[in-house]
Amino acid sequence: QDNYLTLADGQQMPQEGFGLYKVDGQGTMTAAIQHAFEDGYRLFDTAQLYGNEAEVGTALKQLALPRDEIFVTTKVAEENQGYDRAIASVKESLQKLQLDYVDLLLVHWPIERSFFETWRAFEDMKKEGLTKSIGVSNFEMIHLQYLATQAHEMPVVDQIELHPLLTQKPLLKFNQDHQIITQAWSPLGRGAVLGQDVLKQIAAQHQKSPAQVILRWHLQNGVSFIPKSVHEARIAQNAAIYDFSLTPAEMAQIDALNNYQRTGREPELVYEYNRQY
Ligand code: A2P
């Protein structure tokens, strides 16, 4: 895999990454990261909320992966929002990860009460070199517009729930228009989409699996995506999507599966912004 996307701040980010949500236990973690690296994944995505940053750190150390070849993302949990807490929590994350910096730091969920202070902390942490890039997760258009009223720098990534049952076209277009790279979490819809007949048919046509078809759909949509598996064969399978392509008609058939179905929670609205603007 040598597909990289250029972020608005100039940093290069691998388009496909490896998600570490619910990858738990040191043995499982180290094996998953090792197989992923061997299969060509370079981006590893964790979060304070996942409770596995220390295991990620140990795995990276055990495997001695070259720092400048990997791209590590973590996310600040809701309970750590606010200026001081955000900074203290990121220093703790770096300690657990055994890293001097992360490549991408995300605000995990929008919360109204600490919106701007948290973002100011992010801008300062980037200046201080604790992270190369700053972004957000689970932000809808309204959150990004609200942030834009006070931000000095806008997020370069918005990581959102995105898969064939939740195609998010308006947000994708908005992000694209604002130089924000969209990154898909649960790119396979936590497995809920895999049984769809349309996907099975397209998969059979290309002698690929439904999971590979979905990931290829993300790839051709130009978004970043971070599938997760703890099984060696699936980790490999999810990286083997660079030797076929979907036709425009097939892309449209997959788009048509959209039914606004979330597997995760709904981002909170920002009431003050709604009132003011
Ligand atoms: P497992 O880790 O047991 O392999 P998402 O990334 O959308 O959250 O979905 C991840 C879920 O899909 C996980 O439960 C993972 O399970 C499963 N999964 C990952 N890759 C594949 C695949 N290629 N085929 C089938 N299921 C997969």
Assign 146 to helix, strand or coil. Answer: helix
> Using a 6 Å cutoff on CB, does residue 227 contact ligand 1?
yes
Q: Can you list the domains of the chain with their CATH numbers?
A: 13-190+221-229 (3.20.20.100)
Choose which residue among 24, 228, 230 to substitute to test ligand 1 binding: the one with the highest number of ligand atoms within 8 A of its C-beta: 228
Nearest CA to ligand 1 atom 11: 190
Atom of ligand 1 nearest to the CA of 23: 2
What pLDDT, on a 0 to 100 scale, did the predictor assign at position 266? 86
> Using a 6 Å cutoff on CB, does residue 85 contact ligand 1?
no
Q: What is the pTM of this model?
A: 0.96
> Using a 6 Å cutoff on CB, does residue 218 contact ligand 1?
no
Give me the tens of pLDDT residue by residue for the chain, a chain 277 residues long.
679 999 999 999 999 999 999 999 999 999 999 999 999 999 999 999 999 999 999 999 999 999 999 999 999 999 999 999 999 999 999 999 999 999 999 999 998 778 899 999 999 999 999 999 999 999 999 999 999 999 999 999 999 999 999 999 999 999 999 999 999 999 999 888 999 999 999 999 999 999 999 999 999 999 999 999 999 999 999 999 999 999 999 999 999 999 999 988 888 777 666 665 5
One-character DSSP codes across 63-125: HT--GGG-EEEEEE-GGG-SHHHHHHHHHHHHHHHT-S-EEEEEE-S--GGGHHHHHHHHHHH
Helices (H), 115-231: 115-127, 141-148, 169-177, 197-206, 210-221
What pLDDT, on a 0 to 100 scale, did the predictor assign at position 251? 98
Active site residues: 50
Query: How many angstroms does the Cα of residue 230 sit away from the middle of ligand 1?
Result: 8
Atom of ligand 1 nearest to the CA of 238: 23
Q: What ipTM was estimated for this complex?
A: 0.97
> Using a 6 Å cutoff on CB, does residue 211 contact ligand 1?
yes
Both tokens of 47, joined, read 């979060």
